[in-house]
A = this chain, B = another copy of it.
């Protein structure tokens, strides 16, 4: 990236030198794979196919499989782990060149580990675990022992070299996964785009003018480029689901404390009022199930105190006990921002298909999403944003646009007192209680006699937005306020051109201004399915049903385990 060492002296600020050094480190790691490097020569906005072009036919076959199939094929010795890791690593290097999605790169160690695993399998005949030999990518702020954990902050670069794996990483290793890269996250992590002063911006591989989403936007760009079959992200307002959706992937945010969460770096460590979740981004729904199963079969509650002792119920996740006729509520519009036409169209498509398949569909009356947003943003910033500001000020780095946007919500208000925090917690509980009753009373409107089983809804008001324009989180953060499990799934690629209604408020006006069909050229269209708290298994089983009602969908899911 930077060839001329004199650039160093050209740095105006000390923080720029640190950023430069981090980028040089990354360049050095990439330099070992010079043959794989890719320059985008012609001006093109769709770079998603470039990684595949670098691969051999055999490699191309490999990187199109999901983790479930890869684990199976490695176990059956159709492919070696070395082959698989090599193919993904190659695509990952290209993905980095075309989307800027990586942070720490340790492909050689990964290939060594893959070789060990291959030998183990050859000698013993056994796999070490359900992910034996499968490469998995990790979001930057999740600790991997021995690696820097800069987490998108200049001030944390070269400071937070992890002395221990995060619990999720430890379990992945024990399950046989091969870690090989860490991926970009934005400054502050509190962003649905991915941009920071260390590495800059991660772009959407389907249209580089658009964001890959955030905060797990390195993961989504990488996986969409076939640079990893399975990635680990985190979500406190949409940070797994939004990037997964913007890049045409599957992503799951479970209920708080169901999946391992210890060993992350981030601002506001120790915050109880609203808590994030670790979760998977993948190319198939069944890989989400695989990830959860691996995590909970490891009984992580025996090492991480806050976790719930709720073992993974594989049978339920595969549909056991699910009623034949589901009752699905559709949330068409959250009352704040009408979704862009391609999203509404997708909802209609699923509504019609669900009805044809014999399911019950009702409209979801949205609770006050604006109230939910106003509440969660207060809970995010109990200290008025002081810790974020201090972290940036210490190193001298400026806030990037999306950091400034979110911190602006607390501008001038200072920190809350203990009594105010307690009142906010009570507001949150009252909001949750209202929402629970709201869900229960749908029983009066369904034809099944049950409350609705799930809510089908947008994940955002737009497809992947142009960089620095994200301004409404209400479709994703709403389910964090309520602590309900939510999963996103791809439904196709954008191709409609319809007009929007009159805007109802300032937020909507700003977002509607962006609406032009051409802006979102080639962008993935995704939807979200929301379930009852602690019912991740049932949610995934329902996703399977919902996906199957639309017959022409294209998905890895159709690849049979051999």
Residues of A within 8 A of B (CB): 262, 268-273, 301-306, 308-310, 382-383, 386-387, 415-419, 421-426, 429, 432-433, 435-437, 440, 482-483, 532-535
Contact = CB atoms under 8 A, between A and B. Distances in A.
Nearest to A430: B305
B269 A426 contact: yes
Contacts of A534: 301, 308-309
Chain A interface secondary structure, helix, strand, loop or mixed? loop
Per assembly, the copies of the chain total 2
Contact of A383 (B304, B418, B424, B426): B418
Contacts of A424: 270
Contacts of A421: 270, 418, 421
5 nearest CB pairs, A to B: A270-B422, A305-B432, A383-B418, A270-B425, A309-B534
Contact of A418 (B309, B415, B532): B415
A124 to B, nearest CB: 24
A419 B386 contact: yes
Nearest to A272: B272
A2 to B, nearest CB: 37
B304 A433 contact: yes
B306 A429 contact: yes
A271 B383 contact: no
B270 A423 contact: yes
Nearest to A532: B309
B272 A425 contact: yes
B416 A271 contact: no
A470 B302 CA distance: 35
A73 B386 CA distance: 63
A204 B302 CA distance: 40
Given A268-B422, A270-B425, A302-B440, A535 B383 contact: no
A537 to B, nearest CB: 11
A429 B305 contact: yes
Nearest to A432: B305
Contacts of A383: 417-419
